[in-house]
Structure 1
Amino acid sequence: MSAGSATPPPGSDGRAGVVSRPVGPAESAVASRGWWDDEAGRYQAEHGAFLGDVDFVWCPERLREADAALLGPPAALVGARVLEVGCGAASCSRWLIDRGADAVGVDLSAGMLREARAADVRSGIAVPLVQADASHLPFPDATFDLACSAFGAVPFVADTAGLMAEVARVLRPGGRWVFAVNHPLRWIFPDDPGEDGLCVTQSYFDRTPYAEADDDGRVIYVEHHRTLGDRIADVVGAGLVLEGLVEPEWPPDLEEVWGQWSPLRGALFPGTAIFRCRRPR
């Protein structure tokens, strides 16, 4: 799971205040690049042990690709050309390479890609890395057999319909696209793992992004809310087929709190939505 698997609480870093206004694609990309460049080291220090250097963890609920096989059976990975969108430190790509895939990681943040290179050295598995905006993938049409994203890029991109179209473009006919995001239902609750995080505070249908700005009004962090219907419309609009929606349940033995994710909340409502899509042949 790459960067962005938990929204920071308002003003959590002491640098920002919450703003309520639209944030367009260019402003959103600048904010995300700057935030994750600054936060990459701290993020990995806090979550790196959970994510591993060579592992594919879809979400804080600890669902692993080794168990779920959302990308297909193990034999299908061997020799497959795979794109990890918003790869962060690229632990998922490294896991895929270790199982015979030809994986490439893309991330907007140079800071996160530096963390990926450090993990390459630790693990002895090098991932080909590309710094790019997920809305403008620098690959020819029909390049990849599979594409995946474990909380990378999708929640931070303003033009999610364009992102889905880009992924569809670089997939080969029959290729699969699987991506995990914050469950849209979570938008109505505060980002609090405790009792306060069980109370509805805003409309599910309010698509104003969560954004933090510095004292000059410059947006430095942003996440974009989409309803389930919006996500499905983006997938279908890109010419993809939605094959399934996975809502992982909270494991009874998992006591770890990750941002807004907690055993308390996880027992009551989903925190993650994983969309399993395919480009038609």
Structure 2
Amino acid sequence: MPNDVAIVGGSYAGLAAALQLARARRSVVVVDAGHRRNRFAGTSHGFLTRDGEAPASIAESGRQQLLAYPDVRFVEGVAEMARPEGEGFNISLQGENLSARRLILATGVVDELPAIPGLRERWGRTVFHCPYCHGHELARGQIGVLATGPHAFYQAMMLPDWGSTTLFINGAFEPDASQSAMLAARGVKIEKEPVVELEDSKATVILADGRKVSLDGLFVAPRTRMASDLPEALGCAFEEGPMGPFIRTDPMKATSVAGVYACGDAARAAGSVSHAVGDGVTAGMAAHQSLIFG
């Protein structure tokens, strides 16, 4: 007998989808490779009732709650292939094949960070992408924005609410006269000298001319790519967001492929734990209802 629903991705979106289906007494299998996008961060912020907790703790709590439902099974590993089969789908892992009537993709994205020495080591600790997730903890200190493209303007405009802000152009973006005036009105400093390295326990920026700028936190909006080849292999349509492609879905998180739903960071232009959980709830309910109504 096939599972009612297979969910590829066992982070926040996938867990939230599984919970709705488990409570509908449907059989669910969750395939989890164990690579949460926010695994580098020590704490997670902005998720109601769990603010300031370790990301791993939130995910493990969700997993344990799901395991209390008899119709949920977890499989650890990477889903290497998924294809339509009969009225459902076949999902291949190393050493195991799974079948399900519906498929939910909660496969996430990978952040492609600028190749600046010292940046990757500080990712999620003193180098961040989301001010709502990490800005408050910087206590109105010295904040930097490392430009990767035009989106840096929006980051730099927002961040003065969290601290004194410097925009490092770094050859990736040049604000026009109107943008420069808006940044000046917000008190943002613009630094055109290229960034060559980050050092110390915080995020001190070393510039090409040898100057050092001491920061409490540095924000960067990296390009993203799909963490899994499954969406493309299945033929899912994509949209191009400001940071990279994401799976196109309708308001109920259905993709362009019949029977396939997508949620979380893989299916939105930008995300957070709260957004991922909300998307997962919608995808889980929609997949359940499709089993009834077609």
* Larger Rg over CA atoms: 2
What's the TM-score once normalised by structure 2's chain length? 0.31
Name the one with the larger helix percent.
1
Name the one with the larger strand percent.
2
